[in-house]
């Protein structure tokens, strides 16, 4: 077989995800490596001279071509084509992934969205926090297409689970998130003995497990003995602040409509919304590490949805655009999509000031130069401001979602 011959149409006569094709090739050949002569190419196996397949990507990392290498012959290409057909292109049996997510409030009920996913409590034997202001675990079960290739199947599970997690983090309050990393942290074990004896710290992997937990199954868990999660009218849901009015997770009345609206968006708009959801969730995740990073994430959650700059005339003297600048476009976006209720009027001006300070080289917020809790009132005001601004941006993001379907020209 001619080295360098394109085999993309033979491998993938219909469109497939390049990341999944990479997993099939990796399992087939056992290794991969970058091409020393082309930074936008991958070799399978990872031998610079004796590879079978070379994948070539464009500058946006989209698959541009697949070409034959020195070790690919006709029988091997036929086998590889059959493998791709079986593991990628043929619809696999549906599977149900199970993830543990965390919310700011306990979850004692369930919510089912058609045949796509459901929320339900962790089983009785699963560990739970013994105080309210904690990460409260619950289960997310979701359907995805299986594959005979375990690497592809895991990738599909993780991609679908992450998508639903980010959707919930935007559409539902109470800071829904997962632990998507395998990092280790120093932890302080509980004291033991009487009187209690302090134990030395331990380096432990972050994660949540319990006896009988499983990441994948064939069907959804039945919820016959579990009550449905409470659905709250929007006006009441968005008027609440803090934990004064509810002690368990409940859901906004427009959750189902928001999920359906997202499903109807075009793929580019779905990606745009996912980007915003990520930054919105990230804002809460990093708050205790850096208030500056937390506010910047909120700013990025807004800017991810803003329309691109208008192409207009340039100044003849300085050659800069005379169109609307980023600050003006930021203000106009929030004026359109942010909630126009009394409690948020002061927050809007505060948000503009924080954005200007962080985005234009103003440096860190003062609270980031101290340990959390050392500044007393300033720390409390920082926490309260972030909570209000997170809620403020979350409502703007949701409003954008519902407007995007009806007015794609106005949202870029």
Percentage of residues in the chain with pLDDT exceeding 70? Answer: 87
By mean pLDDT, which of 20-29, 64-73, 366-375 is the weakest?
Answer: 366-375
pLDDT band at 409 (very low <50, low <70, confident <90, very high): very low
| pLDDT for res 343 | 58
Q: Are 126 and 101 within 8 A, CB to CB?
A: no
pLDDT band at 412 (very low <50, low <70, confident <90, very high): very low
- The yes-or-no verdict on residue 318 having pLDDT over 70 is no
| pLDDT for res 143 | 97
By mean pLDDT, which of 111-115, 263-267, 332-336 is the weakest?
Answer: 332-336
Q: Are 389 and 298 within 8 A, CB to CB?
A: yes
| pLDDT for res 341 | 60
| pLDDT for res 281 | 95
Of 134-143, 280-289, 338-347, highest mean pLDDT: 134-143
* CA dist 388 → 221, 257, 357, 381, 394 (Å): 36, 24, 19, 10, 10
pLDDT band at 411 (very low <50, low <70, confident <90, very high): very low
β-bridge pairing 251-252 and 231-232: parallel
Cα angle 171, 174, 178 (rounded to 5 degrees) comes to 85
pLDDT band at 391 (very low <50, low <70, confident <90, very high): confident
Q: Are 411 and 307 within 8 A, CB to CB?
A: yes
What is the Cα 408 distance to its own chain's centre?
Answer: 23
- H-type helices in 191-254, by residue range? 234-239
pTM above 0.85, yes or no: yes
| pLDDT for res 351 | 75
Q: What 8-state DSSP symbol labels residue 265?
A: S
* pLDDT tens by residue, 34-90: 999 999 999 999 999 999 999 999 998 899 999 999 999 999 999 999 999 999 999
| pLDDT for res 388 | 79
Interval 209-221 mean pLDDT: 91
């Amino acid at each position: 077989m001619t080295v360098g011959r394109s085999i993309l149409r033979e491998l993938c006569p219909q469109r497939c995800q390049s990341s999944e094709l990479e997993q099939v090739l990796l399992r087939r050949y056992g290794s991969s490596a970058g091409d020393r002569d082309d930074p936008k190419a991958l070799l399978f196996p990872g031998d610079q001279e004796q590879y079978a397949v070379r994948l070539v990507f464009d500058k946006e990392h989209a698959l541009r071509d697949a070409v034959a290498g020195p070790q690919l012959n006709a029988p091997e290409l036929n086998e590889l084509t059959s493998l791709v057909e079986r593991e990628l292109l043929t619809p696999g049996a549906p599977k149900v992934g199970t993830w543990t997510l965390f919310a700011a409030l306990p979850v004692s009920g369930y919510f089912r969205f058609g045949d796509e996913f459901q929320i339900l409590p962790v089983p009785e034997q699963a560990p739970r926090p013994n105080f309210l202001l904690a990460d409260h675990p619950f289960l997310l079960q979701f359907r995805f297409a299986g594959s005979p290739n375990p690497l592809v199947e895991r990738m599909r599970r993780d991609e679908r689970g992450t998508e639903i997690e980010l959707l919930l983090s935007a559409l539902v309050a109470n800071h829904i998130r997962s632990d998507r990393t395998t990092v280790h942290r120093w932890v302080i074990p509980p004291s033991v003995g009487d009187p209690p004896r302090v134990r030395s710290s331990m380096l432990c992997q972050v994660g949540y497990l319990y006896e009988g937990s499983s990441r994948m199954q064939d069907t959804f868990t039945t919820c016959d003995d579990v009550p449905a999660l409470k659905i709250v009218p929007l006006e009441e849901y968005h008027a609440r602040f803090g934990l004064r009015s509810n002690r368990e997770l409940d859901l906004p009345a427009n959750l189902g409509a928001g999920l359906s609206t997202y499903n109807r968006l075009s793929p580019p708009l779905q990606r745009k919304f996912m980007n915003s959801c990520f930054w919105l969730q990230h804002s809460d995740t990093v708050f205790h590490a850096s208030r500056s990073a937390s506010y910047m994430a909120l700013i990025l959650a807004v800017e991810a949805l803003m329309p691109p700059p208008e192409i207009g005339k340039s100044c003849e003297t300085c050659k800069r655009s005379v169109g609307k600048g980023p600050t003006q476009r930021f203000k106009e976006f929030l004026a359109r999509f942010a909630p126009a209720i009394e409690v948020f009027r002061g927050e809007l001006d505060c948000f503009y000031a924080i954005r200007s300070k962080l985005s234009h080289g103003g440096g860190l917020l003062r609270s980031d130069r101290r340990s959390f809790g050392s500044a007393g009132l300033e720390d409390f005001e920082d926490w309260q401001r972030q909570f209000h601004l997170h809620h403020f941006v979350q409502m703007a993001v949701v409003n954008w979602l519902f407007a995007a379907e009806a007015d794609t020209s106005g949202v870029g």
